[in-house]
Structure formats: C-alpha cells, structure tokens
Structure 1
Amino acid sequence: MRRTTVRLAVPLMLLALLGPAVPGAAHAAPPAGSLADTIDWGPCAPEDEAPERVVCGELEVPVDWSRPGGSTVTLALAKLPASDPARRIGPLLINPGGPGGSGVNFAYGAAEAFSDVITDRFDVIGFDPRGQARSQVITCDSDALDAQGAVLYPHSAAEYATLRAANRALGRSCHDLSGPLVKFVDTASVARDMDAIRAAIGARKISYYGVSYGTMIGQQYAELFPGRIRALALDSNMDHSQSIADYQKWETLAMEDSFLQFASWCDRTPACALHEQGALAYFDDLYAKAEAGELVVDGITFLPEFLTQITFGYLYDPAGWFALADDLIDLGNGGGSETRRRGEPAPNGYLPVMCSDFHFDVGGYQRLRALEKAQNRLAPHTRLSPIAWTDLTSCQNWPYRVTNPPHRLHASPQLPPILLANSRYDVATPYQWGRSLAGQLPSATFLTYDGVGHGTYWLSPCAQAAIDTYLVDRRLPAKGTHCPAVFPESPATRKSAPGNPLTPGLRTVTAG
C-alpha cells in the first residue's frame, strides 16, 4: 500500500511561535564584571504588535564559544520592565521550552502568563535561543522533512536504511540553508549565551524560570555558572543523564499512565463524550482498526501511530480532555486531517538541538526493533511515546556530532537553594526525570503536583503560589510537598490558563 505523508498538529516540548527579526543595534557581550546595561532596548518589530511597555533588543554572541573571535549569531530579546520599579528585585530570565520555543513571545505574554507578584517585582526578560525563532532560526528543506516523516516508524531493515539516509540528507539541507550554526545549537552553548545576556544587562546574578526544555537550559547554566544565580525555578524537568533505554522507558510509561488517567476521568465524568462507551475500550478498538489498515480518515488510511500522536497533544493539559473524546469519536467516524504545503524551507530548530544534546544513534535495525518491542510491552494501550520515539528515530545517522553529551549534572557547592517542580503524570517530561534531577542537585527542593499535565505553573494554583513565593522571597516549600490534582468537571468550567506557553507545535507524522 502506498504511503501518504501529511502534517498534523502534534505537540513537542515546545511553543513554535516564529516571527520577524527584532530591530535594534547589536552588541557584543561586555566583560562579566560590568554592571552597565549595554542592550539598546527600544520598540519591538511593528508587525509583532508587542504589548504596551515591552521593549526589545539584540545581542551578538559567538557561534562557537571555543572561538570567541569568530563568526557571531544575533540573539533577539524582549523585556517587560517591573511594574513596581521601587520594589524591583532584578531580572527574571525565562524560557518556555522546545527546543524551539520563543522566549521573546513568552516575554510578550508575560503579563498574562505570570502572577502580578512576578511582573510587579521583576524585569521579565525572554530571549529566542540561537537557531530558534528570531535568533537566526534553523531552516531545512521541507521535502527532506517530508521524506524523513515518511519513515520515522520503520518496520523493516530496509525502511530503517531509508530513514538513516533521509536523516542525513535532512541534516545537510539544514546546513545548506542555515549555515554552520546548525552544528552549534546545543544547550551548553545556549547556557553560555544566557550568561552573556546576564553580563550585557549589567546583572551580577539572575533569577530564572524555565519550563520543559527550558529546564535543561537552567540546569546547564547552574552547572557552568553556579555563582551567578539568585534563584532558579525549573518546572517540568528534563534529565540530561538519561540513557537511550531509560529515555524511551520513562517517556513510554508517562504516555501510558497519562492516557489511563484520561480514561479513568472519562469513566467518572458523565459529560465526557466517551463516558458510556468507555474511553479505553474505544481507543483500543481504534488502534486495532489502524493496525488492520481499516482506519480511514478523509479517504486516507492512517497508521496506528497516528492515534498516539493525536492523543499525545491533549495530555499536556486536562482542559482539552473533552475535546480529545470528541476528536477520537470523529476519527472513528472517518473525519479530520490536516495538511501543509510542501517544497519550501521550513523552520526546524528542534532536531539539531536534540541530536546535539543526546547520543541517540542505536546502530543497527535489530536494536531499534528490540527497543520498540520493549516499549510495546510497557504500554499495552498507547504502545510508545511518540515524542521520545521520533526523537530517537530522527537522530539516527545525523550528520553532525553530539557536542553536548548527556551526563549527570556536576552540582557546585556555590549553588543556592533551587526549586524543582513536576507533575505526577506528565506526558512530555516524566515524573521520574524530575526525581532523578533532584538527586543530582543537593540544594534542590522537589515539589510534586499530583495531577496530569505539562507545566505545573498553569495547572495548579498550589504549584504557582509555591513558585511565586520562591522566586520573590527565595522561600522554599517544605520538603516532600504535594499539590492536589485538578480535573475539569465540564467543558465550561475548566479552560487552559491565560498565557500558558505550552501549546502544541508541529511535528512530522506519517499516514498510510
């Protein structure tokens, strides 16, 4: 059967809000001891329609930090100044995740995303990391992306060989369209960029809030620059020390357990559209039809992994669970697909980062197949995590080396008290990753949100209050603190929090 490649809205650990360049003069980072703000803050790009009071600027940093006199990349920044300057604490740098999330857009939405106590007391500063959004976004050939997307779930040694060739061709297209920066977008380089921002704004120390992939930026900043941190709040944590097997294992279990939470909620919630039929049984039936080649949507026969990818996005926030039930019914009735134009350069900042930060290459097909079978045994309903699996398959035979190899964090005694927070059921950054990270950071306090979803700050009033208190007063919750789960009761009573940056982005998937 001939396979058709389509584009579908499927989330990653990112907010892919891409935009035009930010105006303003570029500056090299000043010496670390400088206390003068040398960023030329001014109006943001008119087409951005930035909120009132937000100002924008730029900063030049080396492409390769081992060659500071070489070529440079210009970082885009945005700042929401503290609304109570008399009580201003200092700068709060922020990142919404990804890789690929726009810190500039996060700063644009800071007044809605954060509590007043944060925006009153801090200059909230977001930056687009190198290779993302306005900071010289990595672009790749979209035909090469489509070719890769057609084989992200290989089912034979021949398909695996095709995947490896497609990945190499894609990586080279990224270099052809974006230049050598594609080799220098690892998270350690981003952490060094963040310290250049600290120096350029004239701050001896910074506070930082990072969520999802933004936690890896904060973790590596803590490792490289422990004495330059006032407060560090890391929400929905990644763990850079994961092996290939553990990365897949914990992500797969997170997917399965989060979906089981949805199914249990639907069983006890009469307003859920699958309440009578049973969400778990209905999903299993759809999956069986997809495996048999009998799931046809808008005339296209879809592979079973489509179901897990479409479901994955809704598990970021229970606010969308009523819609998930509706969409599963629509899929069962043969409706709903989404396509995109092909052939033009496409933003692709995600893969170059992941393939620079993790050793994902497994070598031969037999090892990949063994990993897949192991995940299927762990997760009898959802089978595997689509984000973890495509992280793995997309980096096979990537043409550039891993410049920031995975490792346990080296925690300095200089580190101040740190706050870590994770949901008990987080489909994107598993709870076990947060627990592992807490074991690597002796000065950290670990906060558990006992509910479902990604980004505790917008899911739990309890977690939000704890993070606010820590950032403002540097007062941590008691060790072992748990925040109660929050579930929607009806479509009208539970909506996503205003300003939540963890909205779905785009990822390549394949239908057959």
Structure 2
Amino acid sequence: MRIVRSLTAVATALALVTPVTAAAKAPYDVPRINWGSCGAAPELAPFQCASVEVPTDYDRPNGPTTTIALTRLPAADPAQRVGSLFINPGGPGAPGVPFVQQIASSYSPQLRARFDIVGFDPRGVGLSDPATCYPTAAEEAVVLAKLKDFPVTAAEERGYIADAAKLAASCRRTSPDRLRHMSTANVARDLDLLRRAVGDAKLSYLGYSYGTFLAATYAKLFPNNVRALVMDGTLVPERYTGSNGERLPVGARYRQGEAASDSYQQFLLECKKAAAACPLNALGDPRTVVENLLERLKTKPIGHFDYPTTVGYMFGSFYSSTTYPALAQQLAELATSATSAKAVRKEDYPSIGNALQPCIETRNTGRPLSYPAYADAADGRAPHFGRFRAWIGIHCEFLGLKDQDAYFAPWPNQVRRPVLIFGTRHDPGTPYEATRPFANLWPDARMVTIEGWGHATSLGASKCADRLLTTYLSTLQAPSDGSTCQQDRKPFDPLPAGKSVAGLIR
C-alpha cells in the first residue's frame, strides 16, 4: 500500500469501538447521476463524467453534502451488460476518476463488454471536495517540495517532528470539517449510495491495495449488498487501524519496510541473473555496488539524489518489475557519479507528507518523540526501507481530529458469496504474508497467489490472473482457494509492446 501524495493530515489515538452501521441509520435520498462529457481531450471521448451530492455526515442525512466525482466507460455490449464495476485504485487517497480513464482499456474485452467500468474520487480526494492543508494549491506545493522522505540524523529527526506538527496544525485549520468525515466507513457508505444510483441491486467491485480495506469495511457495513468482490494487494484491517493492539506507527504495523526489503533482495537477485541486461553487473556484484552507493549518499548527495530520495525512488520502482531495468540504470549512473543522473520528481514515489485517511481512522502511538526509536528498530528489521516507512504516520500524531463514524473492529464478516483475493509473492506495498490472514476474514474467500514481483499485479502482469478475474466477475465462478498464477515476464525481460500500468496502483 502506498500513502499517496496529497498533503492532507493527521489524527489522535482513537478508542476501539464498533459504530452503528449504515444500515441502522436513517434512510438517504439516492442521488441522480447525470452523465455528460469528460472534456474535449480525444482520449476522454469514450468516457462519461458526472458528480453527485452525498451526506457529509450520515448521522444528518438532510444536512450539508459532499461532492463525489465519477467517471464511467459504458459497457461495449449493452445486450450482455451485467451492471457496473466499481474500481478503487488504493492510496489511501488515490483518485479513481483519472485511474479508470487511464487503465480501463487494459481490462479484458469480455469485462469491458459486460460492465460499465466506474471510477470515483473518494470524499476528500481529487475532484470530490478535496481536503487540503493550505488555502491554495501553490502554497501546498511549496511545502510539499521541501519535504524529505525521511530524516537520517538526530538534528533532521527533531526538525522533521517539528515540521510534522506545523503541517498538522495547518491541515486542522484548513480542512477540519472535511477531515472529520472522510473515514473509509463513510467512503463505503458513499459507495453503497453510488451502487443504488447506477441501479445495481448488488455491488460488483474491484479494489487494489488500500481498496481492499475499503472492501473489508463495505463488507462489515453492507454484507447483504455484495454481488462480487475482487481484492488485490491486501491490508490486514487490524494492522491498518491498530485494533491488533500494537503500539507502533502505522507504517511499521503493516510491515511495509519488511516487504520492501524483500523486494530489494529480489531486485538484486534478478539483476544478477540478468547478466548484461542489468547494467549494475558491469560494475561488480550488484549488492555491493548498491550498498556502497547508499552509504555514500548519506553524506555526499549526487545532484538531486541524497540517501532518503534514493531509498524512496527505489521503493516506488519496486511497485512494478517493468521498472527494474530503469532503476538499475539509474543506480548504475549514480554509482559512477554520472552527470546524466536524472532528477526525480516528488510525485514519482510515495512520501511521508501523504498521510490522510490513516490520520482520522487509525490508532496513533501517542508518542511522537519516540519515532526515532521506532525508526531505528524498523531499520534493524529492514535496512533502508524500515526507517523510510516507519516515519509515514508522524503527522497523524498531531492532528487532533477524528471521524466518529470510522469503523475499527471486529473484522470477520458475513458475506455469503465467494470473494476473489490476489496476493503477489514479492509485493513491496502490501506484504504477501498478509494475504491469508485477510482471506480468513471472509466466509468463502478464494485466494490466488501471483508468483512474481510488484504491487497488486493482477492488472497487466498476468494473463492467468486476468482470466480468473474476468470469469469471476462475469459469471461468479470463482477459482479454487489456493490457486496459483505466474506472471507473464521476468523483471529484466524486454518489455512487450503496449501500455504499461506501472505506478498507477497505490
């Protein structure tokens, strides 16, 4: 799971409570969707766009409303249409409108024929009344550009904590009402209204990464409204929310550092096996070359690349094995101090400034001054990447806002239909070892292992996974639990012709 780039904020520790479910609350008016053009850009011509209003606070159905932006690619064969397939790309905080507009053509012809493929920006995100931390986007961009991925020295750590407190205060001043109501539970309630608005009796849904947590939350609130759920790159809800009792930062709780460390080892292994196809081999043993580079960058940056930037860049590159060759080339250039080493844009990889939803719906440590110790321990378990991911929740320690309608526990659900769950063996964002515990929350989960590399890779990386996904969504025929799929290519194989979806899933 990636904490996507959106300066949006931070929360206090929350008690573990089970809130009143949406089904028990007052009825809500179903919004009317007036689909229209998505703009003049030729690539958007096949899509339709709209926005609807939903209750900001579901305890006050006739009170203020929140705008939700949507897009859809209508089913190519209306006569065979099953319904709408709602898609969430993860995050938390990744907008679904641009995601669907970029990747809808990557789904199988059968899926596109039988479903309207629908994306939406969750409340507080993108075009859906975004929660921001500064009055203008320009001011926010200035602060964002100055953020390091994580601190290294003791002086940097003190400054990082102080800056996190300042950022949280700005978020609290700028978007308090939006932040108080943007929990995943409320996104799930929005999703159920959208399901009703498109006329579907039951929900068909495909969620990646954080989108699996949204699916788990929906299943708790609306277990009888499920037709089909596909979840790829799973988050164990107890780790995400902190209901497992671990007194750790959110990034350490869901083991991203350890998962990224595994991906790093896989990158080095595949590089060595690739011989001349991996440029690091020309410089010596890949592990020695990269480790020496990282150590040198701690005190001697090369252009835009210092140690935190390089670790963050590597982490983002592990999200798709199609980027392994480019990563190897960049590291080789840095190792030789080549002046051609490109600048890395901040938005190319995740960073600490992105914490949004976790801040208002997960438990914090209550010990912000202990983050250096947490980071040291995480670095011991997973060098380089443990420290990086341990810091991602620091802003949340200072926000002081919470969503009273957030859902925390328990997580076993009562969905009677089979659900399909994918886990990639070497996933840096959502650890593979979390897949079976997540599957165990469902009465009838069919877990499929994708043998390969990258984050939430059922889209575009495995024809086998695509076939299982399409069959399940179209016919409700699920594969056997414990099935396995192979990826279609090795990390350093030549790229096939066509679009890559690398980096889109958060």
- TM (norm. structure 1) is 0.82
Matched, 1:460 2:467: no
Do the aligned residues in 2 keep the contact of 1:152 with 1:393 (CA within 8 Å)?
no
1:235 is displaced (CA, Å) by: 0.8
What is the identity, as a one-letter code, of the residue corresponding to 1:167?
Answer: A
Select the residue among 146, 149, 166 that pairs with 2:147.
149
1:44 aligned residue: 38
Do the aligned residues in 1 keep the contact of 2:46 with 2:73 (CA within 8 Å)?
yes
2: CA distance between counterparts of 1:148 and 1:108?
31
In the superposition, relative to structure 1, how do residues 179 and 479 fare at CA in structure 2: closer, same or farther (>3 Å)?
Answer: closer
2: CA distance between counterparts of 1:193 and 1:445?
27
2: CA distance between counterparts of 1:64 and 1:473?
36
2: CA distance between counterparts of 1:15 and 1:163?
17
SS of 1:432 mapped into structure 2 = helix
Select the residue among 284, 307, 313 that pairs with 1:310.
313
Matched, 1:184 2:191: no
Matched, 1:287 2:294: yes
1:189 is displaced (CA, Å) by: 0.9
More off after superposition, 198-207 vs 348-357: 348-357
Do the aligned residues in 2 keep the contact of 1:148 with 1:166 (CA within 8 Å)?
no
User: Which residues in structure 2 correspond to 1:232-243 (within 5 Å)?
Assistant: 232-242=229-239, 243=246
Do the aligned residues in 2 keep the contact of 1:470 with 1:476 (CA within 8 Å)?
yes
2: CA distance between counterparts of 1:397 and 1:39?
38
Matched, 1:327 2:333: no
2: CA distance between counterparts of 1:477 and 1:447?
8
1:219 aligned residue: 216
Render the CA deviation track for 1:171-219: whole Å, top value 9, x for unaligned: 3323444452122211111111101111222221120001112212111
1: CA distance between counterparts of 2:450 and 2:85?
23
2:271 aligned residue: 266
Select the residue among 71, 92, 110 that pairs with 2:85.
92
SS of 1:58 mapped into structure 2 = strand
Q: What is the CA RMSD across the aligned residues, in angstroms?
A: 3.0
In the superposition, relative to structure 1, how do residues 138 and 163 fare at CA in structure 2: closer, same or farther (>3 Å)?
Answer: same
2: CA distance between counterparts of 1:264 and 1:161?
37
- TM (norm. structure 2) is 0.83
1:405 is displaced (CA, Å) by: 5.8
Q: Percent identity?
A: 29
Instruction: Note the residue ranges of structure 1 that are not aligned, 5 or more in a row.
Output: 1-10, 17-29, 342-347, 506-512
Select the residue among 64, 67, 73 that pairs with 1:74.
67
2:478 aligned residue: 476
Matched, 1:379 2:397: no
What is the identity, as a one-letter code, of the residue corresponding to 1:275?
Answer: N
1:440 aligned residue: 441
More off after superposition, 265-274 vs 52-61: 52-61
2: CA distance between counterparts of 1:139 and 1:188?
20
Render the CA deviation track for 1:454-473: whole Å, top value 9, x for unaligned: 12222221111111111111
Render the CA deviation track for 1:38-70: whole Å, top value 9, x for unaligned: 311122234x55533321111101222222222
Select the residue among 189, 192, 198 that pairs with 1:201.
198
1:477 is displaced (CA, Å) by: 1.3
Select the residue among 83, 86, 101 that pairs with 1:108.
101
Do the aligned residues in 2 keep the contact of 1:209 with 1:232 (CA within 8 Å)?
yes
Render the CA deviation track for 1:364-417: whole Å, top value 9, x for unaligned: 53x42332232222224x34163x3242223222232365364441401x4311
Select the residue among 248, 254, 260 that pairs with 2:252.
248
Do the aligned residues in 1 keep the contact of 2:251 with 2:391 (CA within 8 Å)?
no
In the superposition, relative to structure 1, how do residues 372 and 254 fare at CA in structure 2: closer, same or farther (>3 Å)?
Answer: same
Give the aligned length. 463
Render the CA deviation track for 1:455-499: whole Å, top value 9, x for unaligned: 22222211111111111111111121111244436563357x736
1: CA distance between counterparts of 2:164 and 2:54?
29
**Which structure's residues are more often strand, by fraction?**
1
Render the CA deviation track for 1:420-441: whole Å, top value 9, x for unaligned: 1010110111112222211222
Do the aligned residues in 2 keep the contact of 1:109 with 1:499 (CA within 8 Å)?
no
User: Which residues in structure 2 correspond to 1:343-362 (within 5 Å)?
Assistant: 350-362=354-366
Do the aligned residues in 1 keep the contact of 2:353 with 2:392 (CA within 8 Å)?
no
In the superposition, relative to structure 1, how do residues 236 and 86 fare at CA in structure 2: closer, same or farther (>3 Å)?
Answer: same
1:7 aligned residue: none
2: CA distance between counterparts of 1:402 and 1:375?
29
1:231 aligned residue: 228
Do the aligned residues in 2 keep the contact of 1:88 with 1:120 (CA within 8 Å)?
yes
What is the identity, as a one-letter code, of the residue corresponding to 2:129?
Answer: Q
What is the identity, as a one-letter code, of the residue corresponding to 2:302?
Answer: V
SS of 2:281 mapped into structure 1 = coil
Do the aligned residues in 2 keep the contact of 1:279 with 1:325 (CA within 8 Å)?
no
Instruction: Note the residue ranges of structure 2 that are not aligned, 5 or more in a row.
Output: 7-25, 135-139, 240-245
In the superposition, relative to structure 1, how do residues 489 and 501 fare at CA in structure 2: closer, same or farther (>3 Å)?
Answer: closer
